[in-house]
């Protein structure tokens, strides 16, 4: 009964491949997010969706394409993977925009590009 | 553009001590601020959320304060325990966008 679950937990792949990371939340939240934590442990927002609508896109390369089939899911597809994409990607959710409720995070997906 | 600074970057203290972690941010037009903890290889756990209209929040041995006008927040941990060892992240929120500091790595010595 994990609140925010991401799959896979680990992803090792070669440069140039296309891969997807899935995220699901069972909290009934309206808003979901993707964050990237780089090798220096710096955590930065990438995208935010509210009720399947894109709200925040933080100048992420268009090789990254989030998709929200419903408000409980926010998947991240990455095309033509590059070495610099190696990082931990975190999914999070919150009750709603401006809800003044905390964000809940998944355990992360560790992406390694060979 | 919001910039978040956390001091100190790392801290080691003996078990039982009280300690304070500091956070400063440049854009005070926030509507809340969260403190998170991150354990190695894990996601983030929300510890406290302070709304912009509030001055402090308490949860158990944790107390967070917020001085929005001066762009400062502190996290006070009372009677520290080895289980408190983790990285603590300060995260002010504006327009539903959280900007994280680089964190304070805390190590409590048994």
| Cα distances (Å, whole numbers) of residue A4 to A25, A73, A93, B103 | 4, 10, 7, 23
In chain A, residues 57-96 whose CB comes closer than 8 Å to chain B = 58, 90, 92, 94
CB neighbour class for B14 (10 Å; exposed up to 12, middle 13-18, buried from 19): exposed
β-pairing, A87-94 vs B10-14, is unpaired
Sign, Cα dihedral of A38, A41, A46, A52: positive
Find where tokens 């309206």 sit.
A30
Give pLDDT < 50 ranges for chain B.
Answer: none
> pLDDT value at position B41?
83
A79–chain B nearest CA distance, Å: 25
Residue B71 token pair: 């762009």
Mutate to test the interface with A, among B4, B37, B89, B96 (most CBs of A within 10 A): B96
Q: Are A44 and A36 in contact (CB under 8 A)?
A: yes
Name the residue in chain A with its Cα closest to that of B42: A107
> pLDDT value at position B40?
87
> pLDDT value at position A67?
93
Q: Which of A54, A57, A79, A69 is nearest to A24 (CA)?
A: A69
Residue A95 token pair: 């009750």
Does B102 reach chain A within 8 Å, measured CB to CB? yes
Give pLDDT < 70 ranges for chain A.
Answer: 1-2
Collapsed DSSP state (helix, strand, coil) of residue A99: coil
* Nearest by CB: A55 against B42, B51, B96: B96
Collapsed DSSP state (helix, strand, coil) of residue A85: helix
Does B99 reach chain A within 8 Å, measured CB to CB? yes
> pLDDT value at position A89?
97
Residue A18 token pair: 């296309």
> pLDDT value at position A18?
97
β-pairing, A109-113 vs A10-13, is parallel
> pLDDT value at position A101?
87
A106–chain B nearest CA distance, Å: 6
- Cα(B72)–Cα(B52) distance, integer angstroms: 12
> pLDDT value at position A1?
61
Does A10 reach chain B within 8 Å, measured CB to CB? no
């Amino acid at each position: 009964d994990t609140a925010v679950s991401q799959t896979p937990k680990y992803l090792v792949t070669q440069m140039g491949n296309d891969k997807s990371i899935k995220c699901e939340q069972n909290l009934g939240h309206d808003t979901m997010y993707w964050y990237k934590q780089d090798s220096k442990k710096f955590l930065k927002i990438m995208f935010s969706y509210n009720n399947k609508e894109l709200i925040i896109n933080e100048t992420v390369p268009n090789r990254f394409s989030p998709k929200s089939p419903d408000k409980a899911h926010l998947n991240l597809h990455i095309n033509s993977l590059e070495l610099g994409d190696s990082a931990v990607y975190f999914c999070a959710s919150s009750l709603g925009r401006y809800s003044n409720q905390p964000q809940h995070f998944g355990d992360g997906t560790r992406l390694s590009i060979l | 553009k919001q910039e978040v600074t956390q001091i100190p970057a790392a801290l080691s203290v003996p078990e039982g001590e009280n300690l304070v972690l500091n956070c400063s941010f440049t854009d005070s037009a926030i509507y809340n601020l969260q403190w998170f903890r991150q354990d190695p290889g894990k996601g983030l756990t929300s510890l406290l959320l302070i709304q912009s209209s509030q001055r402090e929040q308490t949860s158990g041995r944790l107390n967070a304060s917020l001085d929005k006008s001066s762009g400062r927040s502190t996290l006070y941990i009372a009677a520290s325990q080895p289980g408190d060892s983790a990285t603590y992240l300060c995260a002010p929120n504006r327009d539903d966008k959280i900007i994280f500091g680089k964190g304070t790595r805390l190590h409590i010595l048994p």
